[in-house]
Amino acid sequence: MSGALASEGQSQQALSLALGIHRSAVVALVDDLEQRGVAERRRDPADRRAYTLYLTPTGREMLADLQRIAEEHEAELLTALDASDRSQLISLLQRVAESQGLVAGVHPNLEPHAGDDHAAGGPRSPRSTSPGAS
């Protein structure tokens, strides 16, 4: 989701498609993010019926902190694995995700790190967009 939110200026509908969740769930999610002061809606100048989404300065700072924390935890969690092992783990997890129909791109930073010998997998089929699917 961090990558989806970091793509500022996209519509709520585009975020819904990127996350593979129902539009009404995105409305509730963005309402919550706005209440927390980390995101804001702006009228789309090209379509006054639509809103585009932006992180606030607080939201950008929070996102950077969360990314740093996630990277630290990942490094700690995977210390026992060398680059080849990490590559194999990513491949196996991608197969599990594909078999479950999980949405590609929701975790866009799940890419091999420098030194990994794994090539990113192909596209995955999107999950249902019915309410509750996430």
Contact present, 94 and 111 (Cβ < 8 Å): no
Q: What is the pLDDT of residue 111?
A: 47
Mean pLDDT of the chain: 79
Class of the CATH domain delimited by 2-82: mainly alpha
Q: If pLDDT is split at 50, 70 and 90, which confidence band does 113 have?
A: very low
Q: If pLDDT is split at 50, 70 and 90, which confidence band does 120 have?
A: very low
* Sign of the CA dihedral with 123 first, then 125, 129, and 134 last: negative
Q: What is the pLDDT of residue 130?
A: 39
Q: What is the pLDDT of residue 80?
A: 95
Q: How many CA atoms lie within 13 A of 94 on its CB side?
A: 19
pLDDT digits (tens, 9 = 90+) for 27-78: 999 999 999 999 999 998 888 888 899 999 999 999 999 999 999 999 999 9
Q: If pLDDT is split at 50, 70 and 90, which confidence band does 104 have?
A: low
Domain definitions of the chain by residue range = 2-82
Instruction: Locate the DSSP E strands across 13-122.
Output: 39-44, 47-55
Axis-axis angle for helices 23-35, 12-19 (nearest 10): 110
9-13, 38-42, 81-85, 108-112: least confidently modelled range: 108-112
Q: What is the pLDDT of residue 131?
A: 40
17 against 110, higher pLDDT: 17
